[in-house]
Amino acid sequence: DAKTTQPTSMDCAEGRAANLPCNHSTISGNEYVYWYRQIHSQGPQYIIHGLKNNETNEMASLIITEDRKSSTLILPHATLRDTAVYYCIVRPSRGSQGNLIFGKGTKLSVKP
Amino acid sequence: ETGVTQTPRHLVMGMTNKKSLKCEQHLGHNAMYWYKQSAKKPLELMFVYNFKEQTENNSVPSRFSPECPNSSHLFLHLHTLQPEDSALYLCASSQPSLYNEQFFGPGTRLTVL
């Protein structure tokens, strides 16, 4: 089972920031938070990951609370092409691969 | 070709057919994965290969048979499937160390009649 909780769906106006929350209250000290997204009929796409510090790349920013029990993915200027299902994943530490366990994610709809 | 490619993109097969799905990655990775995504269900990990060796089989029925002849290619051989096996089958690859991100192909949409 996924170790994260996300809202089922969210709307965002085009050009505005999209803030996607994720709760991971049982995260352990050596587990990372990963975000992927899946645009309709495509494979998932890696966005960003972090351990405890905030992270930023060309796609998004990741804000992790100090207690690491929750995080927020920020798309600073959402476009219509950002409409997708966004998955927050806590990377398990078992095994040699740290397998991804996907939950149901948040369906983000960016509207004009 | 760049990234992870999958063929065919769409496949319709009968329950008595034998078919194969192909995945190829051009990223120099040494770990490859098969996932299944059924309608309205989360992605489910099926198999993991690390340097051509299978390191994980997530209790997948034997009618699904993976093959990894080299680090760039991964196959999923299908035989005597059931209609409930209809799904999007996704391949991914990564560098084989903990916490490296996975790169996914576009998937094969499989329909079993």
A39-61: pLDDT as tens digits = 988 899 999 999 888 999 999 99
Of B112, B113, B99, B95, the closest CA to residue B28 belongs to B95
Q: How confident is the model at residue A6 (pLDDT cuts 50, 70, 90)?
A: very high
Please name the member of A41, A42, A96 whose beta carbon is closest to the beta carbon of B55. Answer: A96
Chain A residues with CB-CB distance to B under 8 A?
2, 32, 34, 41-46, 49, 91, 93, 95-105
pLDDT of res. A98: 61
pLDDT (0 to 100) of residue A92 = 63
DSSP state of B15: T
The whole-number average pLDDT for the span A20-38 is 92
B66 has a chain A CB within 8 A of its CB: no
Under the banding of pLDDT at 50, 70 and 90, the label for residue A91 is confident
Per-residue pLDDT of chain B (113 residues; tens, 9 = 90+): 569 999 999 999 999 889 999 999 999 999 999 999 998 788 999 999 988 999 888 889 999 999 999 999 999 999 999 999 999 999 999 987 656 789 999 999 999 99
Search chain B and give the residue with CA nearest A32. B99
Taking CA atoms, what residue in B is nearest to A30? B99
Nearest CB to B31: which of A49, A97, A101?
Answer: A97
pLDDT at B21: 98
- Report cis status (omega within 30 of 0) of the bond before A21: no
CB contact under 8 Å between A42 and B107, yes or no, is: yes
First-to-last alpha carbon distance for chain B, in angstroms, is: 32
Q: Which residue of A has its CA nearest to B94?
A: A97
* B69 CB within 8 Å of a chain A CB: no
- Beta-strand runs (E) in A1-93: 9-13, 18-23, 33-38, 45-50, 55-56, 61-64, 70-75, 84-90
Instruction: Using CB atoms, pick whichever of B4, B48, B104 lies closest to residue A99.
Output: B48
Tell me what pLDDT residue B29 has.
92
| Shortest alpha-carbon distance between residue B31 and chain A (Å) | 9
Query: Looking at the predicted structure, is the pLDDT value of residue A28 above 50?
Result: yes
